Structure 1
Amino acid sequence: MLDQIVDSGVLAGVRVVEMGQLIAGPFCGKTLGDFGADVVKIEPPGAGDPLRNWRMVKDGTSVWWQVQSRNKRSIALDLRSPEGQDIARSLIAEADVLIENFRPGTLEGWGMSPEQLHAINPGLVMLRISGYGQTGPYRDLPGFGVIGESMGGLRHLTGEPGRVPVRCGISIGDTLAALHGTIGVLLALYHRKVSGGPGQVIDVALHEAVFNCMESLIPEYSVFGAVRDAAGSALPGIAPSNAYPCTDGWVLVAGNGDSIFKRLMEAIGRGDLGNDAALANNAGRVARVAEIDAAVAAWTQQRPVAEVLQALAAARVPAGKVYTARDIAEDPHYQARDMLLTQTTRDGYEITVPGIVPKLSGTPGGIRSSAPGLGDDTEAVLREIGVSAEQLAALRQKGVVQ
């Protein structure tokens, strides 16, 4: 419970049961686990969470798994069997938080509706992540993060004008839903603590999490009837902010502040534009954005990335290289801020993983344990809820646990 918080993590003493698979639910569980929560992950016997086999695999396990499932304990439990459902209810009865990202109605079909679970654990905080939410005409449709990005308005804006919409390269819809879910869990836990009241259900839809980050998209449509379209690397309505070519790559330059714009123009030898009264504010610059972008590009394309960044840093103009994985892994700033951590997997090899975000000064997060093998903690967790050795053996014999 929250009143059991100790120095080992701000969420130490908080018990989380994670039923989710793949990305959205498990990313929330990872975030809570990074800050001390005891996360018990329920996986189906046999193959376990499909993420174990996604993308690049070493020694039979995805290296992505090593990040997504750190600080968790794994039990292999058949939730489709009555015995497995009974065990799950026993675990949930002792939990603070339940995370699930099944299609709406799945838990209800297993006899684990919010009403039924709150009857055995009134303080339970229940996070439900789904494609379209637990209500509404689309609730029963299957939904993945990519569909949430599309319906949330993001995919219409990504890519070059007139060309096929592209993804940002990661499952951003799932991650945004997970972060909104994490916020909801922490809000609900805080409310429970300060009010002494019961737990509650947090309903996160993938498309709504994306939509919540779409800035002025709907207000502009509401007031002006404007439908924002894809704009490549530019930021429509804000100038200058774009990607510019160099002799050996690209740089991103954000010169859209009024004083920053003047410094940028001085740095590229275009003081005439910097001192042009018509360009002193953003509205004026937007009207002449093509001219400004051409001036910046004419300067950058004659220079390597390193020279451009050095000159703009001296002028105090925000600019950055387009980083690859190698750039991140070799960057001293990442290393200085502990954003590249080394952990040893349970298979015995070392792997570099992303550090902990956000950084808390008094109760920082950390990696307490590497990602588990399937069912590594089944026996230990079940004994904590009173399952005897004889009962465990019988459950194994039936294939309920692994």
Structure 2
Amino acid sequence: MSAGLLAGMRVVEAAAFVAAPLGGMTLAQMGADVIRIDTLGGGLDFHRWPVTEDGTSLFWCGLNKSKRSVALDLQSPQGREIAMALACAPGDDAGIFLTNFPPRGWLDHDKLRARRADLIQLTLQGDRHGGSAVDYTVNARVGVPGITGDPRGAEPTNHVLPAWDLVTGQMVAVGLLAAERHRRRTGEGQHVKLALQDVGLAVMQHLGFIEEARRGQPRQRHGNELFGAFGRDFACADGERVMVVGLTGKQWRSLCEALGVQQEVDAIGTRLGLDLSEEGNRFRARRELGDIVGRRIAARTLADLAADFDRLGVCWDRYQSLEQLVRDDPECSPANPIFRRIEQPGVGDMLAAGLPLDFSAVPRVPAAPAPRLGQHTEQVLHEVLGMPAGEFGRLHDAGIVAQAT
């Protein structure tokens, strides 16, 4: 068993796609025993792209590391009965259930709570009314594609990073831990509901986007420029591109010193009547500042620039491709403690990321492979439900349970 911070906690998960599996994996990578309930042949995301040449989903493997898998025929009454028994199994550190499927049938909270009164269930929904939504539709709803991309463009610009899924996945983990703490203090279970769309709306308000629009000043497109301060991409003499940021006063002073532009910057401030020590004024003067910064960067190679930037503590980085990241960057390798090489079933050698959190009280839990579908069916049913080998064999022969070989 894991020696992580959450060692001993058991979470049962019936989920697909990003946010809910990410929440479960986050708990698993802190040491919890997270048991996936999988359908025979795999669920909705079992073949989700990207995939290997033979069709193994890198997506599924990436979001289910360190979990155990139980494969059941959930179309059958016996399979559903086993699933409910797992979700409601006894134990002070058990009775925690996570799903992003509609809470009906065997997933209905009232049915599950009838078996275990202190059950903690977190149901992730698309919207607060129980409707369907995914990251792309939430992004469209909250207006982000309209302020993303080329300032001259009129069409919405989607992006590939599922921001709301990622934030929601972490809130799934936080919500379950908060409910578990409440149960320890009071003995009470509860049904926690979380809507992907509400996460998007909340974050938009937290960051000021909603209030800007309410005040008649909706955010505009600014391309690659950092809103409200100075930051942008620039090309070096050798064609390499860098992102530089002068958000804080120290970052801005370091950038000016590294490029030797302080006198020119002061002249711009005088001409425009702006105190450029204030970050908002640097945004107002971004065109003029970008011209002088761009000229200085364009006159130097990346290697030359990097030496001065690093020496003076400039906030910057080089643009690199995914191929460059995995081939050349030591931070994306086992030199970084979050990574290790594992043997992933169906994939082979894989570079796997563990939990980014580094707790001083316990050592890191190394990244572990995602399970084969049904890899732990017999083990879990024996450990959690006390199922004898003969009963498991009977259910296996009847096609109610499946065991990976």
TM-score by length of 2: 0.87
How does the TM-score come out when normalised to structure 1?
0.87
**In the alignment, which residue of structure 2 is the partner of 1:388?**
388
Q: Alignment length, in residue pairs?
A: 385
Distance 2:69 2:304 in 1: 50
| 1:243 aligned to which of 228, 233, 241 | 233
1:31–1:376 CA distance, 2 compared to 1 (3 A): same
Q: Structure 1, residues 290-335: CA drift from partner, whole Å, max 9, x if none?
A: 1111221122223333332222222322011123334433323454
Q: CA RMSD in A?
A: 2.4
Cα distance between partner residues in 2 of 1:169 and 1:75: 31
Aligned to 1:370: 369
Compute the displacement of 1:16 (Å). 0.8
Percent identical among aligned pairs is 28
Question: In the alignment, which residue of structure 1 is the partner of 2:103?
Answer: 107
Runs of 5+ consecutive residues of structure 1 not aligned to the other structure: 1-5
Matched, 1:221 2:235: no
User: Who is 1:3 aligned against?
Assistant: none
Query: Quick one: which of 224, 228, 235 aligns to 1:233?
Result: 224
The 2-side partners of 1:21 and 1:112 are apart by 14
Q: Matches of residues 139-150 of structure 1 in structure 2 within 5 Å?
A: 139-140=130-131, 142-150=132-140
> What residue is the counterpart of 2:148 in the other structure?
158
Aligned amino acid, residue 282 of structure 2: R
Deviations 1:239-294 (A, max 9, x none): x1111222323211111223432332232232224434622212322221111112
Whether the aligned pair in 2 keeps the contact of 1:153 and 1:211 (CA below 8 Å) is no
After superposition, what is the alpha-carbon deviation per residue over 1:318-369, rounded to whole angstroms, capped at 9, x for unaligned? 0111233344333234544313311122358321112321121212442364
Instruction: Sort the Cα spacing of 1:369 and 1:266 in 2 relative to 1 into closer, same or farther, 3 A.
Output: closer
Q: 1:82 aligns with which of 63, 70, 77?
A: 77
Deviation at residue 371 of structure 1 after TM alignment? 1.5
What SS is found at the alignment partner of 1:57?
A: coil
Contact 1:130/1:204 (<8 A) preserved? yes
The answer to whether 1:331 aligns with 2:322 is no
Tell me if 1:12 matches 2:7.
Answer: yes
Indicate the SS of the match to 1:212: helix
* Equivalent position SS for 1:298: helix
Give CA deviations for 1:120-162 in whole Å, capped at 9, x if unaligned: 22332212112113x3xxx33x222211222234333322224
Instruction: Provide the C-alpha distance between the structure 1 equivalents of 2:302 and 2:200, rounded to a whole number of angstroms.
Output: 33
Q: Say if 1:67 and 1:371, in contact at 8 Å, map to a contact too.
A: yes
Inter-CA distance 165–287: structure 2 relative to 1 (3 Å threshold): same
Correspondence for 1:256 among 247, 258, 262: 247
**Do the aligned residues in 2 keep the contact of 1:43 with 1:49 (CA within 8 Å)?**
no
What are the equivalent positions in structure 2 for 1:1-400 lying under 5 Å apart?
Answer: 8-48=3-43, 50-57=45-52, 60-94=55-89, 95-102=94-101, 106-108=102-104, 110-133=105-128, 135=129, 139-140=130-131, 142-163=132-153, 164-193=155-184, 195-214=185-204, 215-222=207-214, 224-238=215-229, 240-246=230-236, 247-275=238-266, 276=269, 278=274, 279-329=276-326, 330-334=328-332, 335-346=334-345, 349-367=348-366, 369-384=368-383, 385-400=385-400
Q: Which amino acid letter does the alignment assign opposite residue 210 of structure 1?
A: G
- 2-structure distance, mates of 1:121, 1:38: 19
